[in-house]
Structure 1
Amino acid sequence: MWVCSGSPLVAEICAGAGLDWLLVDAEHSPNGLESILAQLQAIHGYPVHTLVRPPVNDTVLIKQYLDLGVQNLLIPMVHSVADAEAAVAATRYPPEGVRGVGSALARAARWNRVPEYLARAASTISVTVQIESVAAVDAVADILAVDGVDAIFVGPSDLAASLGLLGQQEHPDVVAAVERCLAAATRAGKPAGVNAFTPSVARRYLDGGAGFILVGADVALLARGSEALAAAFVPASDDGPGASY
């Protein structure tokens, strides 16, 4: 599930829920370096895998995330082979990549307490890239072939927008594009994931080859749950529901 609140307490609650994996999001959520670090610390020790999504495919930001101790990155808006190669290069020390060296200062190396961290770092990091545009779908086979791309994750919301179908994540053309990517990943022998909050759509993608899936978000659960309480216990008003804007 998505972890978007920015709260370490909420992240820890989700970490102990029995889920397979969490996505701590900084692209569309109020998460900075400090809050991501606190959530990593809160989640640590629970039997759950954690991915972190930066707001942009940026070498400097990826370096900072890695130094914090992020090991599984979900890189948004990867539209081409060049984008995918840049994401991988940002996670590798020279000469294989361009990651800056600061292990003595970094939680990732436990401040140089991890033996041979510089030599082993790449083997501790996974790179998943997001396929969320028409261009990315067209290039998906080549993106999957990039050395260092460990998996793809399809984002139906932005993909729908790219197809001219804004807000229609379950439109047949969007579903077909998602399934095209899942099939390409199967052929490449790499895992593919997808975002799907509707149970029937989630099951369809799982049956279609998705290896991992996002089926909910902390903020969405809180929003819908609190709305249900209001609907059950707050008398209806002629003025309609309250609104923030």
Structure 2
Amino acid sequence: MPAPINPFKKALADGEIQFGCWLGIPTGFTTELMGHAGFDWLVIDGEHGPQDYRATLNALQVLAGTPAHPVVRVPVGDTVIIKQMLDLGAQTLLVPMVESAAQAEQLVRDVTYPPHGVRGVGFALSRAAGFSTIADYGKTADAQICLLVQVENRAGLAALDEILAVEGVHGVFIGPSDLAADMGHMSNPEHPDVQAAIMDAITRIRAAGKAPGILSTRDPMTNAALEAGAQFVAVGADVLLLGTAARGLAAKWQATRG
């Protein structure tokens, strides 16, 4: 029995657009709700969200029963953390702050079994391998892993062409907020200079045969990214959805008190 097919990776390879959302609330209840909301993919955020090892495991278990594909964002591109997330069952990883081809090459080794990589072998304890019940997991897993790297500062943009040349990187996600801050436009990713850099990067990523990705909660920016060629596009976050709806509802009824 081979490793399960990664539908998200296949969709990107087929040129399909995949719409997603961020998960920052570390509870199975809301994760399950989001999994049935209609998104193609959901990011379990271990960088800025409070998703630790156990919370990520819970989210992966919950999302396995929904149509949404889980994407795990690790806090940093560390070999040990990546090994743990893959053994938990993550097939798609999002790695922040990649600034060089050397970093990207190491990440490819991290997600690949020997002899071509350094991923540790431990099938008996691995949820990904069905606890040794997926007989051919070790021989077939590499082909189903999807590695997405984040380019989100000027150093990353300067090295973008070299990063794109790394075999085994399947998509490049442009981080608008960090890029805006690094360009001197904190909290203003819609600044014309930032937008120009983002759209140019998306175009270059697509031209290189990789999948471009982005997070955008504003329709004009989202539409511009799609027109530039973005394929995996996150359009919101659970905390933003809840917070916006809750504040709006509270304000509506507080205003009636006169």
TM-score range, shorter chain: over 0.9
Offset of residue 207 of structure 1: 0.9
Do residues 208 (structure 1) and 228 (structure 2) align? yes
Q: Give 2:129's aligned amino acid.
A: A
Offset of residue 7 of structure 1: 1.2
Instruction: State the structure with bigger RCO (CA 8 A, min sep 6), 1 or 2.
Output: 2
Secondary structure, counterpart of 1:5 in structure 2: coil
Q: Which of 152, 155, 164 is equivalent to 2:184?
A: 164
Q: Which of 77, 88, 97 is equivalent to 2:117?
A: 97
Corresponding residue of 1:242: none
Secondary structure, counterpart of 1:107 in structure 2: coil
Alignment of 1:27-46 (within 5 A): 27-46=47-66
Q: Distance in 2 between matches of 1:87 and 1:166?
A: 29
Q: Which of 59, 71, 83 is equivalent to 1:63?
A: 83
How many correspondences in the alignment?
238
Secondary structure, counterpart of 2:196 in structure 1: helix
Secondary structure, counterpart of 2:242 in structure 1: helix
Secondary structure, counterpart of 1:152 in structure 2: strand
Q: Indicate the RMSD between aligned Cα atoms, in angstroms.
A: 1.5
Do residues 138 (structure 1) and 154 (structure 2) align? no
Secondary structure, counterpart of 1:57 in structure 2: coil
Do residues 178 (structure 1) and 201 (structure 2) align? no
Q: Alignment identity in percent?
A: 44
Q: Which of 146, 149, 152 is equivalent to 2:172?
A: 152
Structure 1 ranges of 4+ moved more than 4 A: none
Change over 3 Å in CA distance of 1:236–1:56 after alignment to 2: farther
Unaligned runs of 5+ in 2: 1-20
Unaligned runs of 5+ in 1: 238-245
Corresponding residue of 1:24: 44
Q: Give 1:192's aligned amino acid.
A: P
Offset of residue 235 of structure 1: 4.8
Q: Distance in 2 between matches of 1:10 and 1:146?
A: 37
Q: Distance in 2 between matches of 1:42 and 1:187?
A: 36
Corresponding residue of 2:13: none
Secondary structure, counterpart of 1:167 in structure 2: coil
Secondary structure, counterpart of 2:72 in structure 1: strand
Do residues 83 (structure 1) and 83 (structure 2) align? no
Corresponding residue of 1:241: none
Using the size of structure 2 for normalisation, the TM-score is: 0.89
Secondary structure, counterpart of 1:214 in structure 2: strand
| Range that drifts further, 85-94 or 59-68 | 85-94
